[in-house]
A and B are shown apart, each in its own frame.
Chain A
Amino acid sequence: MLDRLQSQDLAAPWKDGDDVVVGNGSSDNNDKARRFRDAALPHLDDVYTLARYLLHNGADADDAVQECYLRALRHFDTYRGPAIKPWLFAILRNICRGEFGRRSRAALTMDGETEEDEDAVPLWQDAPVSPEMEMLRQWDANTIRRLVTDLPEPFREAIVLREINDLSYREIADVIGAPVGTVMSRLARARSMLRKAWIAEEGEEGLPT
């Protein structure tokens, strides 16, 4: 339910709407553009990585990242920190959940049923202890990417922001506009789901992929 609210950008103070026109001539704008490049372009791979995990589709990811940078530049005047990477991520996330989310909602289940049972089942019932869980198989990067990509959206974004984009809980909370407690419970759930998929993958081994 929380996510349905956030998908309307309510959580983001930098949400789009009051567009500032960026001209090409003035030295102020040149200076701003240069500062923006220096601050934001080094994070391009990070932003692109998040887009790839949020959108599944390389071409959509390209478009979303480009839109993210243009939107970030428009709002760079009002940007007051804290760190620029979570700020860019929050903008990207709004874009992914907005336009690109609508485009492929059916396929992705961006909102809805996946979250409704988020707190329904105690976590520990997900993962009964058994000896084979004590040693996890070491999967290659492509397999892990696929397992992560198959997670339902709120859990996928939590684990990608933490494990792959290396954000702190506080930063993740800022990006997704939810309390740190929600971040913790989603991460716990995400890792539990991922571990189940990780182990289930062993049964698939040998099948053509």
Chain B
Amino acid sequence: MTCAEAEIVLHALLDGELDAGHAHDVEAHVGNCPRCATQLRAYREMQHAMLAAPLRFTAPTSLRRRIERALPSAPPRVASRRSMLKGFAMGTALSAAIAASLVIGVIRTDQDQRVLGDVFSAHVRSLQADHLTDVQTSDQHTVKPWFNGKVDVAPPVVDLTAQGFTLIGGRLDYIDGRAVASIVYRRRAHMINLFVIPGAASADHGAKLETMQGFNIQRWSAQGLEFFAISDINAEELNEFVEKFEAGFHSTGAT
């Protein structure tokens, strides 16, 4: 791969648009080319800065009212996710496949799903580019202090090496437009990203399994923190990870 080619394709790498083979080609080039490596780093910084900044606009209430008034009939009401799905189910002209893609389009606007989407993207990004960890160490007492001042609340770091989940390090990532901590573990050849988001909206709740494009995501909250563990290991093992983590978290406190 030449620099001129890499110059274009490294953006596809940043945007998570490359399959594993092409991603590997770009990474191989970047690994041998300081200039392209610098570019990739600078563009990634810029991308993170843009993700972290509130660059979106909110439609003015007056505009929302104008549009609602201009649409015929039916009193305006707040569309919940459930009612949106019901609306689509009633659209008999839609094939199942189209309905499915519609549902994805709509669900993604839901706050929860946006966070899940961010978790998924961050995980995939961390695997694709050479940026799995910012601080690489198996020592939990090194990982936790590293996050001080970088995120609002230093995350609990539990060493689970003895239980079969090797602590690899930590990384700063962006979920839902804010900087959050990710603790990185390894199970055999599989990576687990554990995202820790302060200020859980709901009370403590147990782990709930979600799947997204072949990845398993366990989410739960405890002590005001929202946790997302994502990996391509199977659901049972991920569940085991959650149990071990929770056990370590509660027995030692946030170490």
Question: Nearest residue in A to B60 (C-beta to C-beta)?
Answer: A62
A184 and B87 form a contact (CB under 8 A): no
Contact pick for A22, options B34, B63, B64, B72, CB 8 Å: B72
Return chain A residues, CB-CB under 8 Å to B84: 38-39, 42
Tell me how far the C-beta of B107 lies from the nearest C-beta in chain A, rounded to whole angstroms: 10
Q: How far is B3's CA from A29's CA once the two chains are assembled, in angstroms? A: 56
Contact pick for A35, options B8, B90, B98, B105, CB 8 Å: B90
Instruction: From B48-56, B154-162, B241-249, give the one contacting chain A.
Output: B48-56
How many residue pairs link A and B with beta carbons under 8 A? The number is 168
Contact pick for B71, options A43, A69, A84, A138, CB 8 Å: A69
B8 and A188 form a contact (CB under 8 A): yes
Q: Flag whether A155 is at the interface (Cβ < 8 A).
A: no
Return chain B residues, CB-CB under 8 Å to A169: 12, 15, 17
Q: How far is B10's CA from A127's CA once the two chains are assembled, in angstroms? A: 14
Most buried by A among B4, B7, B70, B98: B7
Q: Flag whether A85 is at the interface (Cβ < 8 A).
A: yes
A52 and B4 form a contact (CB under 8 A): no
Q: Flag whether A106 is at the interface (Cβ < 8 A).
A: no
B4 and A81 form a contact (CB under 8 A): no
Q: How far is B58's CA from A141's CA once the two chains are assembled, in angstroms? A: 14
B49 and A33 form a contact (CB under 8 A): no
Most buried by B among A23, A47, A164: A164
Contact pick for B87, options A34, A46, A85, A145, CB 8 Å: A34
Question: Nearest residue in A to B39 (C-beta to C-beta)?
Answer: A127
Interface string of A25-58 (1 = CB under 8 A from B): 0000111011111110111111111001000000
Contact pick for A66, options B11, B15, B70, CB 8 Å: B70
Interface string of B3-46 (1 = CB under 8 A from A): 11001110110010100000000000000001100110111011
Q: Flag whether A116 is at the interface (Cβ < 8 A).
A: no
Return chain A residues, CB-CB under 8 Å to B7: 122-124, 188
B38 and A85 form a contact (CB under 8 A): no
Question: Nearest residue in A to B41 (C-beta to C-beta)?
Answer: A134
Tell me how far the C-beta of B87 lies from the nearest C-beta in chain A, rounded to whole angstroms: 4
Tell me how far the C-beta of B102 lies from the nearest C-beta in chain A, rounded to whole angstroms: 6
B101 and A33 form a contact (CB under 8 A): no
- Where the two chains meet, the residues of A that have a C-beta atom closer than 8 Å to any C-beta of B are 22-24, 29-31, 33-39, 41-49, 52, 62, 65-66, 69-70, 73, 80-85, 122-124, 127, 129, 133-136, 138-141, 144-145, 148, 162-164, 168-169, 184-185, 187-188, 191, 194-195, 198
- Where the two chains meet, the residues of B that have a C-beta atom closer than 8 Å to any C-beta of A are 3-4, 7-9, 11-12, 15, 17, 34-35, 38-39, 41-43, 45-47, 49-51, 53-60, 62-64, 66-68, 70-74, 76, 79, 83-84, 87-88, 90-91, 94, 98, 101-102, 104-106, 109
